[in-house]
Amino acid sequence: MVWAAPVLAVLAGALPAQGPAVELLLRNGTAVVVHDLRGAPDQGLEGQANGQRIRFAAGDVVVLAGVAARAVDLPSAWLSNDEVVRGALAGGDSGGDRLQVVSPVLGRIDLPVERLAAFARAGEAFPLALRLPDGVGEALFQRAAVGFDLVAGTLHQFGEQGVKFQPDGAAAPRWFGLSEFVALRIADPAPRSTPAPVDLVTRAADRLGVVVRRFEADVVKCERDGIEFDVRLTDVACLSFAGTAKFASDLRPSAVTERGYDGDPVHPWRRDAACVGTPMVAAGRTHGKGFGVQAESRLSFVVPEGASHFRTLVALDDSSAELGVAADVDVRLLVGDGVKFEQKGLGAGVVRDTGLVAVRAGDVVTLEAGFGKGRDVGDRVDWLSPMFLFAGGRRP
């Protein structure tokens, strides 16, 4: 098929650069860095690039990669559908249905307790790794001399002072301050009632499903659960638009193979995060969708019905450079047994783009990261925004 260029028009007249620069990944397999992004995603956007204003048709922008995301050292609320908000605990309602946090980026925000999977105090990077035993629906995890003590019981409500919780066997609930527990875990949180069309990652490593209404000057106007709010573009790490693409990280791999240089993998693969659990940041830009792996790894996916092309970016995660080692990996993209993209000796600070690779439903796409020169120390590979694109431009 023929892919139409997303730039519908170049407006006359050169203009000075304005606002923060963001990188747009477009449906036709190209990328462009723009300033002063304006418009509505469902009607079309326009931005300034190379001194001129250019227009993008509705659905042409698949990913907006902005600033580098870094998790702030604040308490965190983890919801179903992989959402997380980091901020100071501000309280909750008396019925125990909601909690309220104050985020550095999102401001004061109410979150539904029915969708809560975990609430952790500052410093706990990934509380979902704290597993609940079978038959335990709610529990507090407290630090012990070795590991954690688990206190099973019932959550009553949130407040500024912490969590009102009734341990099993206790006559009444009591307040537990944030210094008294590491994390609250809740089994089987309710999913979102409807999928969100856009995945937002902020510079503070919040992740929320939102509707993006408009870009105005340096502000993104969003909506979540019927509530409108603004996010400064300088606070946006990534926006991933699901309407025109199916991100591979939303699929279950058909096969996974991993090994470390000396045996077991140092860091097993992660979905929508670097292999060490941090946001995927490469060359200073964040991608919210993708896979973090450490060489050596192979992830395979069956091409969904209606998909005509596959595309991904690949790079060493910026955290690799912080180790002070010269990481070096070989990466390949295969369709079936055929190599469609290969980069040997991928080093830090370099982002490679496979471009559009033709696929058909039922094909198997494999993302392969192999040992390059030396050992596997620092070989932290990010497959950035891997996506299946569809004939006609929209997901079926």
Percent of the chain having pLDDT more than 70? 93
Local confidence pLDDT in tens for the 396 residues of the chain: 233 333 433 333 333 445 689 999 999 999 999 999 999 999 999 999 988 999 999 999 999 999 999 999 999 999 999 999 999 999 999 999 999 999 999 999 999 999 999 999 998 888 999 999 999 999 999 999 888 999 999 999 999 999 999 999 999 999 999 999 999 999 999 999 888 999 999 999 999 999 999 999 899 999 998 899 999 999 999 999 988 899 999 999 999 999 888 778 888 999 999 999 999 999 999 999 999 999 899 999 999 999 999 999 999 999 988 776 778 899 999 999 999 999 999 988 899 999 999 999 999 999 999 987 867 677 899 999 999 999 876 665
pLDDT at residue 90, rounded to an integer: 97
Q: Cα 365 vs. chain centroid, distance in angstroms?
A: 21
User: Per this entry, what is the length of the chain?
Assistant: 396
Give me the amino acid identity at 68.
A
Three-state helix/strand/coil letters over 299-315 = EEEECCCCEEEEEEEEE
The token duo for 293 is 């792996």
- β-strand partners of 199: 209, 240
3-state SS assignment for residue 159? strand
pLDDT at residue 230, rounded to an integer: 96
3-state SS assignment for residue 170? coil
Q: Which of 76, 67, 77 is nearest to 21 (CA)?
A: 67
Maximum CA pair distance of the chain? Answer: 74
If 0-12 CB within 10 Å is exposed, 13-18 middle and 19+ buried, where does residue 382 land?
Answer: buried
pLDDT at residue 328, rounded to an integer: 87
The token duo for 73 is 């050292």
pLDDT at residue 377, rounded to an integer: 72
Question: What is the rounded CA–CA span in Å between residue 361 and residue 150?
Answer: 46
pLDDT at residue 393, rounded to an integer: 64
pLDDT at residue 348, rounded to an integer: 85
Q: Which domains does the chain have, with CATH numbers?
A: 7-65 (2.30.30), 76-186 (no CATH), 245-390 (2.60.120.1060)
Specify the pTM.
0.91
pLDDT at residue 204, rounded to an integer: 97
pLDDT at residue 164, rounded to an integer: 98
